[in-house]
């Protein structure tokens, strides 16, 4: 089950209405989702009008879509009033810049508005091989690619470190794991009261975790990211359905 299938099943089995996607880009995962209110964030959308029209006919809820062509940092900074008006985000997909810091900031910002029974899904949390886990500030340049043994064009970056951080920094506030499917789906849910003072990056802990390497992850993914089998998606759907109906 990939991220689109998981998110769609959760909306199908619950009374959730609000969906936020960070890193929408071409709309490939955003447009198919059947949720009443959807919000897309990307600094450079590349969604053809023909694709929007196709999915509008298949998913009429797409008429309500809101698009924010800006970075996720700017979105959370400039749209606070709008987010408070929404009241809560039921499901958030984070698939933006594949870096530790960017993904962590997106999770911490999303937690401020997350439905207490909702969920955050993060893409690319279990790179399939070392080259795909290359930690850079952006998609590897052609020069960087040449120097990476085994480079295939697949780039997950070091998003996985965000799961490590959450498990160390917020163990009483969130449950966090990675499901071994679709390049690793990070799964984050609230389990305690949101403490906003903890939703600020602890730079000392951040730096400590940033020293970890792909080899550390590959050696013990259970310890690092609380890896779960692909079948765990069924448990998530069942739990969500029980809590929200």
**Where in the chain are the domains?**
3-244
DSSP letter for 122, please: E
At 84 the pLDDT is 82
Q: Which two tokens stand for residue 122?
A: 């993060």
Q: What angle do CA 67, 199, 20 make, to 5 degrees?
A: 20
At 151 the pLDDT is 77
Mean pLDDT of 60-76: 95
- In the block, tokens 């400039």 appear at 78
pLDDT at 95 over 90: yes
Cα–Cα distance measured from residue 83 to residue 43, given in angstroms and rounded to the nearest whole number: 18
Mean pLDDT of 136-156: 78
Above pLDDT 70, what percent of the chain?
Answer: 99
Classify residue 172 by burial, with Cβ atoms within 10 Å: 0-12, 13-18, 19+: exposed
pLDDT at 245 over 70: no
Mode of pairing for the β-strands spanning 89-94 and 174-179: unpaired
At 217 the pLDDT is 97
**Which has the minimum average pLDDT: 55-69, 70-84, 97-111, 176-190?**
70-84
Of the candidates 68, 6, 58, the one whose C-alpha atom is nearest the C-alpha of residue 32 is 58
Tell me the per-residue pLDDT of 100-128, one tens digit each, with 9 for 90 and over. 999 999 999 999 999 999 999 999 999 99
- Say if CB 119 and CB 10 are below 8 A apart: yes
**Which residues have CB under 8 Å from 211's CB, separation 6+?**
none
pLDDT at 199 over 80: yes
- Say if CB 95 and CB 4 are below 8 A apart: no
Read off φ and ψ for residue 32, nearest 5 degrees. -70, -20
At 153 the pLDDT is 78
At 121 the pLDDT is 98
Q: Estimate the share of the chain in helix, then strand, then coil, as percent rounded to the nearest 5.
A: 45, 15, 40
Q: What is the mean pLDDT of the chain?
A: 93
What is the sign, positive or negative, of the torsion defined by CA atoms of 85, 87, 92, 95? positive
Q: Which CATH architecture has domain 3-244?
A: 3-Layer(aba) Sandwich (3.40)
**Which has the minimum average pLDDT: 29-43, 82-96, 102-116?**
82-96
Tell me the per-residue pLDDT of 38-63, one tens digit each, with 9 for 90 and over. 999 999 999 999 999 999 999 999 99
């Amino acid at each position: 089950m990939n991220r689109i299938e998981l998110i769609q099943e959760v909306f199908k089995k619950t009374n959730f209405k609000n969906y936020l996607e960070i890193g929408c880009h071409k709309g490939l995962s955003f447009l198919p989702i059947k949720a009443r209110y959807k919000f897309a964030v990307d600094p450079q959308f590349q969604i053809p009008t023909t694709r929007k029209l196709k999915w509008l006919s298949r998913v009429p809820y797409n008429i309500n879509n809101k698009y924010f062509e800006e970075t996720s940092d700017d979105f959370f900074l400039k749209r606070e009033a709008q987010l408070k008006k929404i009241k809560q985000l039921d499901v958030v997909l984070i698939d933006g810049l594949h870096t530790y810091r960017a993904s962590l900031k997106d999770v911490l910002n999303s937690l401020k508005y997350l439905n207490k029974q909702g969920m955050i899904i993060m893409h690319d949390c279990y790179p399939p091989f070392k080259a795909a886990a290359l930690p850079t500030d952006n998609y590897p340049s052609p020069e960087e690619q040449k120097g990476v043994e085994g480079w295939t064009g697949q780039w997950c970056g070091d998003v996985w470190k965000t799961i490590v951080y959450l498990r160390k920094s917020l163990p009483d506030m969130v449950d966090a794991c990675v499901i071994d499917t679709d390049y690793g789906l990070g799964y984050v849910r609230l389990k305690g009261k949101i403490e906003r003072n903890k939703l600020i990056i602890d730079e000392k802990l951040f730096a400590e975790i940033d020293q970890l390497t792909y080899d550390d992850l590959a050696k013990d993914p259970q310890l690092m990211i609380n890896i779960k089998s692909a079948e765990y998606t069924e448990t998530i759907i069942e739990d969500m359905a029980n809590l929200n109906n």
